[in-house]
Chains A and B, each alone.
Chain A
C-alpha cells in the first residue's frame, strides 16, 4: 500500500510499504479516505519529538471505511464509514473508566506519562498513522465512531482531533458568561478554540498570531478580535491595556513548542534544544491572564523541561489546566453543534493534496505557503472513488 514515510527532519516521501493486518482480536483495519496533517505533526516533521523512527507513517487525524475486523469486535462491521479519534485507548483502565481516554494506561509500553496516539512516534506507543491507504485501528469497539449519514466527510475528519482539541481547550478554561478569552495561535486548533469559547458563553474573544492571512480568516470564522503580535511591543502589556489593566479571564495556549515571538526562547528551545521547545506562549499566557484567572494548555511540548514564570502563576493564584484531548467524550456534542449549524469545521480546509505528493503537502503546511490553514491528504484509492 502507499503510505507517508518519514526519512528524517524535514524529509518525508510517499512510498509502498506492507499493509497492516489484524494483530489483536480487538483490531480493525480501516481503508483511509481522508487524512489531515496536524500542526503537531510538524513537531515530528521538524525532528523535535524523541523516538521518531525513520520509516514511521504519521497521521492521527483520519476517516475511512472498515475493511476487516478482529474476532472480538462487536460494535463495528465491514463497510462502516468511521472517524477515528487520535487517541488509542482501551476503555477499561483506571483512566478510561473516568473518560480520560488520552491518558489510557494500557496502550503505550514506551512511556507512562502519555497515552497512545496514531502515527506520533514510539514515545506515544509506536503505532503507524493514517496518512496511508490502510491503517491498523486497535480497540475498534471503543475508539472509532460511525459517521452519521448527514455528516460531511471533511467535517468528520476534523472531529478526530482539531475541533475536539480546540473545544476542550475552551472547556478547560472553565469559561463563565461574559468572560474575556485570549487564544494564542490562529492555527486550526486555535481557530476552533475561539469558536468554541462563544459556545461556552464568552463575552469577548481575542486571537493572537503573527500570520496575517490566518488572523483574517479567524476574524471572520470565529467573529473575534485579532492581534498580530509582530505589531505589539510587549504582549502581556498589550493584553492588559485591552482589558482595562486587569488581564484576560482565560488564556489558551494553542501553539506549543515551536512558538515564535521571543528570541531567547526560540534559540534555547527550538534551535539549541536546551529546553523542550520555546515556551513563549506559556510565558504570555501566565503574564497576560488576570489574578485568579485560568490558563488552558493544548499546545504540545516535549517531555523534558521548559522555562516558564511559575512564580508569577503562584503569586497570581492561577488555575492551570492541560491535557491531550479525550476526543471520544466530546464527539456527541460536537456532532450536534455541526448538525445545528453552529459551526462548519471543514471551512478551515484550504488544501486537498494527493497522498503521492505528501512531501509538498508537509512543506506547504510547515512553511505556511499559499495561505495554508489545513491540509487534507487523499489516498489514491479514495481519490478514485470521489
Chain B
C-alpha cells in the first residue's frame, strides 16, 4: 500500500478553507493536514475529513447559524382559501401554500382523505384517486374554456421525434394500428348488428 504523502496546492487550500470555516462555526481551527499521494489527483480530497468540522455536525446543532432573531414563531398567514389540514396536527401552521385549493369531485375525495391520519393507507390511496379524477377535471376545464389540449406537445412529442425518432415512429405506427383496428372492429360489429336486426325484421313477416 502506498503510504507516501504529498501536499498539493489544492489540499493546502482545502485545509485552509476548512480551518476558516471551522473557525467561523465553532472557533476551533482545523490543523492543516497532508494529502496521501494516491489522492493527490483529486481536488479537495479530505478537506472535510474532520468530523467535528463537517457542516452538519452535530446532527442536531444548537444554536442554529441563522442571521437575526428567530426565537418566536412566524405570525399566522391570513387564510383566504380552503386549506386541508392533517389530523396529526393540532392546528393550522403559520405558513402554507394557497394555489389550487380543493375543488370539484377531486376536492371532495381529498376532504374525505384528510379524515384519516398519515399512517392510514386510505389517506394516501384516496389522494392518489383524487389526483386521477383531477386529471379528467383538468381536461374538462380546458374544453369548457374552448381550449383543446395538445396532448402530443404536452407529452413532449416534439422532443421524442427529434431525439428518439425510431421509437417515436414505432409508437405512432402502433397507435395508428390500434386505432385502425378498433375502427374496423367497430364497423364490422355495427354491420353484424344491422344484419341481425334486418333478418329479425324479415323473419317477423315470414
Chain A interface (Cβ < 8 Å from any Cβ of B): 7-13, 23-26, 47, 50-57, 72, 74-75, 88, 90-93, 96-100, 105-113, 116, 122-123, 125-128, 138-139, 141-142, 167-168, 171-172, 174, 177, 198-201, 223, 273, 302-304, 326, 328-330, 332-334, 336-337, 340-343, 359-364, 366-367, 369-370
Contact of A26 among B74, B84, B93, B138 (CB under 8 A): B74
B127 engages A369 (CB within 8 Å): no
A72 to B149, alpha carbons, bound, how many Å? 42
Interface residues of B in 71-115 (CB under 8 A from A): 71-75, 77-78, 80, 83-86, 88-89, 92-100, 106, 110, 114
Q: Which residues of A contact B89 (CB under 8 A)?
A: 109, 112
8 CB < 8 A contacts A-B: A7-B135, A23-B80, A26-B74, A26-B75, A111-B118, A142-B66, A201-B48, A303-B124
B44 engages A75 (CB within 8 Å): no
Shortest Cβ distance from residue B171 to the other chain A in the assembled complex, whole angstroms:
12
B44 engages A51 (CB within 8 Å): no
Q: Which residues of A contact B41 (CB under 8 A)?
A: 223
B10 engages A342 (CB within 8 Å): yes
Question: Main SS of chain A's interface residues?
Answer: loop
Contact of A100 among B60, B71, B95, B135 (CB under 8 A): B60
A370 engages B163 (CB within 8 Å): yes
Q: Which residues of A contact B54 (CB under 8 A)?
A: 171, 200
User: Is B144 part of the binding interface, using a Cβ–Cβ cutoff of 8 Å?
Assistant: no
B55 engages A333 (CB within 8 Å): yes
**Nearest chain-A residue to B43 (Cβ)?**
A342
The answer to whether residues A50 and B153 also contact, given A112-B88, A171-B56, A330-B55 and a CB cut-off of 8 A, is no
Interface size on B, residues (CB 8 A): 84
The answer to whether residues A364 and B135 also contact, given A199-B44, A330-B55 and a CB cut-off of 8 A, is no
**Nearest chain-B residue to A105 (Cβ)?**
B93
B49 engages A341 (CB within 8 Å): no
A199 engages B93 (CB within 8 Å): no
Contact of A333 among B43, B48, B78, B159 (CB under 8 A): B48
A90 engages B134 (CB within 8 Å): no
B68 engages A75 (CB within 8 Å): yes
Interface residues of B in 1-27 (CB under 8 A from A): 10, 13-14, 17, 20-21, 24
Q: Which residues of B contact A100 (CB under 8 A)?
A: 59-60
Shortest Cβ distance from residue B195 to the other chain A in the assembled complex, whole angstroms:
41
User: Is B128 part of the binding interface, using a Cβ–Cβ cutoff of 8 Å?
Assistant: yes
Q: Which residues of B contact A340 (CB under 8 A)?
A: 10, 13-14, 17, 44, 47
B64 engages A96 (CB within 8 Å): yes
B97 engages A127 (CB within 8 Å): yes
- List of 6 A-B pairs having minimum Cβ-Cβ separation, nearest first: A363-B156, A342-B44, A126-B97, A8-B135, A127-B97, A360-B159
**Nearest chain-B residue to A145 (Cβ)?**
B67
B95 engages A199 (CB within 8 Å): no
Q: Which residues of A contact B77 (CB under 8 A)?
A: 23-24
Q: Which residues of A contact B65 (CB under 8 A)?
A: 99, 329
Contact of A54 among B17, B75, B134 (CB under 8 A): B134
B83 engages A126 (CB within 8 Å): yes
A366 to B95, alpha carbons, bound, how many Å? 32
A51 engages B55 (CB within 8 Å): no
Q: Which residues of B contact A123 (CB under 8 A)?
A: 127
The answer to whether residues A23 and B93 also contact, given A337-B44, A367-B164 and a CB cut-off of 8 A, is no
A106 engages B74 (CB within 8 Å): yes
